[in-house]
Amino acid sequence: MLRLGKLDTSRPPRIPRRPPPSYRNASPSGPWPWMDLDSDIADGELSPVIPRCPIVKWVDYPKGLFPNWTEQQVRRSGINKALTERQEGPCTIYNVDVLDTGKFKRPGEYFIDEHNKDELWEILQAERPPGIRVRAVFIENISGPVLQMFGTRYNIEPFYFSSSLNKIPSRYQEDVRSHEGDHITITLTFLRSMIDPAPPSLSMSHHTLSKSSVPIQVDRVLDPHAPLSLHSNGRILMLDEMAIHMVRLQTNSTIISYHAKADWYTTTAKELHKLLRLAGQSVYWRKILQQTSDPTFVLLTILWHAIYSWDEALSSLYTHVQSLETKAIRTNESALTQELHIIRAHLLHYISLLEDFRKSVQFIKDTPNPAIDPEVAASEKELLSRECDTLLSEIARLEMVRDMQNQRLKNVMNLVFATVNIVDSQHAKALTETAARDSNAMKQISYLTMVFLPASFSAAVFGMNVTEINTGSVVNLARYVELALPLTAVTVWIIISVQSKTYLDDTDPSMWSQMWWPLTAVRDLLRGLFRARWRKKTDAGV
């Protein structure tokens, strides 16, 4: 027998890293599911596809319904792991029935394990009671048999499960039948705020906490897919997921919501199940569901969960940015700049998430239910457009808030840079003052040297070992001049030759060109003077 009741799931303390999504494998429009262009293609895969049997066993899913999904593609998509992996605990299924009267009914909760999985298949095959417009099914801790049963019973494209398992945003419509129904899939990633499961130790002092709070962000690799810790208010911002597959029919439509394992800290099936039931208490939505027979409006109520989650997350970020602004005014920590860069990188990533959200709502707006009676299709479409426009306006508001947060962070970063520049200017001023004091001291030493320079020169002259000054010396003053003048000329010549690179036209002059430059410079100077005089005489003669 299927067990009804409650099941509390304990969450592990560590949050796993979310891999970047593979967008090319998001929808069945891609003709090569989960295949790289350099993958080896076996000859057997090019043979004609065998038509599927009219009666398919659920154990053959997905290849029984979708023969183009080979074993390699099923393995690469992660579906094979979901089918073969041993589950810890039973799979939990929460149901909500929306009646034709607009009221909500709770059929019950089912816990499926290896012993009672066959009973679930019988329940899925059984005919539903009359008066049910749509049944919303929330699946948590999905097992391989449950995945195969739902995929077979509702003819679900494997792309829905692969996108859900790999956290790939997608939106597409398939199996469209005029006046009968279709299938639509919405998988999107949104932002969620939650209490940090590993906050800083409460035993730390306030000073230690304020100093160690910044490196929480700095020590981590800059990854916008990873959780963002807001140490100022003890919360973290992490990516949540919504994976919805809807089978729209004239009657007895179905909404299937997949939920990841508990260690991802995403919205659980139980939480979303309660939120949908609570939406049934809304007078506004009850009136809408009484006016229309389109089950798509139930999907719109579920999408409001992402709006609320985004709004709460950006509100938590607003509080954290305020604390960073205060810290930037009071201090000039270099680690603060690094944290600001990390937060801004996350904000840039949120642009694509909000854009995916907007595209999903626009997709619902532009994809009317083909099962709606043509006589009321116009009024149904107008009502659907109105509610979708409300969601789109909320998304636009969230984008504006995100832009405002980004501008505030930019302002804080400019403040930090300005503060650092002011501090550097103060240090430079202090160094300049020190250099000025040293320069004054050197000037005093120079002045003192100049006072003794005449006396030193006189002592050097009278200390010369020449016959004119010291009798008995061998060398006279003429010999000293004969030796000193050539040595001085050679020294000056070498110095001028070394500096001649600046004045030569050749960018890479040879050593001989540099050595002969003083003579060539004098020659060019004389030539210039001679030519100037010659032109002057020529002009005067003319």
* pLDDT tens by residue, 346-405: 999 999 999 999 999 999 999 999 998 888 888 999 999 999 999 999 999 999 999 999
Q: Both 120 and 254 in a single domain?
A: yes
Q: Which residue has the higher pLDDT, 305 or 23?
A: 305
Q: How many domains does the chain have?
A: 2
How far is CA 480 from each of CA 155, 459, 462, 486, 534, rounded to the nearest angstrom? 113, 17, 14, 11, 44
Q: Which residue has the higher pLDDT, 137 or 496?
A: 137
Poorest-confidence range of 80-89, 215-224, 396-405?
215-224
Mean pLDDT to the nearest integer, 281-302: 93
Q: What stretches of 250-323 adopt beta strand conformation (E)?
A: 253-259
pLDDT of residue 211: 39
Q: Both 406 and 326 in a single domain?
A: yes
Residue 11 located in a structural domain? no
H or E element, residue 185: strand 181-195
| pLDDT tens-digit readout, 182-195 | 999 999 999 999 98
Q: Both 103 and 246 in a single domain?
A: yes
pLDDT of residue 400: 96
Radius of gyration, alpha carbons of the chain: 41
Mean pLDDT to the nearest integer, 118-138: 92
Whether 2 shows a pLDDT value over 50: the answer reads: no
Q: How far apart are CA 510 and CA 526, in angstroms?
A: 24
pLDDT of residue 151: 94
Percent of residues, the chain, with pLDDT higher than 70: 85
Q: How far apart are CA 288 and CA 102, in angstroms?
A: 8
Mean pLDDT to the nearest integer, 445-467: 75
The percent helix, strand, coil of the chain (3-state, each to 5) is 55, 15, 30
**Euclidean distance between the first and final Cα of the chain, in Å?**
127
pLDDT of residue 359: 96
Tell me if residue 3 falls in helix, strand or coil: strand
pLDDT of residue 325: 83
Q: Which residue has the higher pLDDT, 529 or 140?
A: 140
Residue 125: both structure tokens together: 């095959």
Q: Both 105 and 252 in a single domain?
A: yes
pLDDT of residue 224: 86
Q: Both 392 and 512 in a single domain?
A: no
Mean pLDDT to the nearest integer, 91-95: 93
Q: Both 133 and 257 in a single domain?
A: yes
Give the number of C-alpha atoms closer than 13 A to the C-alpha of residue 494, restricted to the C-beta side: 5
- Residue 135 β-bridge partners: 97, 254
Residue 353 located in a structural domain? yes
pLDDT of residue 244: 96
- Which of 422, 437, 458 terminates a domain? The answer is 422
Residue 293 located in a structural domain? yes
pLDDT of residue 4: 43
Residue 26 located in a structural domain? no
Closest CA to 168 of 298, 261, 77, 262: 77
Q: Which residue has the higher pLDDT, 21 or 75?
A: 75
Q: Both 104 and 231 in a single domain?
A: yes
Poorest-confidence range of 11-15, 57-61, 138-142, 379-383?
11-15
Poorest-confidence range of 75-79, 263-267, 346-350, 486-490?
263-267
**pLDDT tier at 502, thresholds 50, 70, 90:** low
Q: Both 193 and 338 in a single domain?
A: yes
- Which of 422, 456, 489 terminates a domain? The answer is 422
Residue 113 located in a structural domain? yes
Whether 206 shows a pLDDT value over 60: the answer reads: no
Mean pLDDT to the nearest integer, 518-522: 75
Q: Both 167 and 289 in a single domain?
A: yes
Tell me if residue 229 falls in helix, strand or coil: strand
pLDDT of residue 375: 84
Judge whether 332 and 397 are in contact, CB under 8 Å: no
**pLDDT tier at 208, thresholds 50, 70, 90:** very low
pLDDT of residue 35: 79
Closest CA to 395 of 188, 255, 183, 167: 188
Closest CA to 260 of 232, 238, 288: 238
Q: Both 380 and 505 in a single domain?
A: no
Q: Which residue has the higher pLDDT, 215 or 230?
A: 230
Whether 156 shows a pLDDT value over 70: the answer reads: yes
Q: How far apart are CA 312 and CA 306, in angstroms?
A: 10
Mean pLDDT to the nearest integer, 53-60: 76
Q: Both 492 and 417 in a single domain?
A: no
Mean pLDDT to the nearest integer, 456-480: 75
For the chain, give the mean pLDDT: 82
Residue 14 located in a structural domain? no
Residue 9 located in a structural domain? no
Q: How far apart are CA 175 and CA 166, in angstroms?
A: 23
Q: How far apart are CA 244 and CA 412, in angstroms?
A: 39
Q: Alpha helices of 85-143 — where are they, by DSSP H? A: 117-125
Q: Which residue has the higher pLDDT, 86 or 273?
A: 273
Q: Which residue has the higher pLDDT, 407 or 445?
A: 407
Mean pLDDT to the nearest integer, 144-164: 93
- Residue 279 β-bridge partners: none
Judge whether 370 and 184 are in contact, CB under 8 Å: no
pLDDT of residue 487: 85
pLDDT of residue 45: 61
Whether 209 shows a pLDDT value over 70: the answer reads: no
**pLDDT tier at 483, thresholds 50, 70, 90:** confident
Residue 234 has what DSSP assignment?
Answer: T
Poorest-confidence range of 89-103, 156-170, 414-428?
414-428
Mean pLDDT to the nearest integer, 305-310: 96
pLDDT of residue 459: 73
Domain with 528 in it: 479-541
Judge whether 271 and 262 are in contact, CB under 8 Å: no
Residue 13 located in a structural domain? no
Give 309's contacts (C-beta < 8 A, 6+ positions apart).
Answer: 190, 191, 192, 193, 240, 267
Whether 514 shows a pLDDT value over 80: the answer reads: no
| pLDDT tens-digit readout, 8-25 | 444 444 566 677 788 888
Q: Both 483 and 392 in a single domain?
A: no
Q: How far apart are CA 242 and CA 360, in angstroms?
A: 11
pLDDT of residue 11: 43
Q: How far apart are CA 96 and CA 470, in angstroms?
A: 124
Q: Tokens 């949908």 identify what position? A: 276
Q: Which residue has the higher pLDDT, 463 or 398?
A: 398
Whether 215 shows a pLDDT value over 60: the answer reads: no
pLDDT of residue 334: 63
Whether 135 shows a pLDDT value over 90: the answer reads: yes
Q: Which residue has the higher pLDDT, 460 or 100?
A: 100
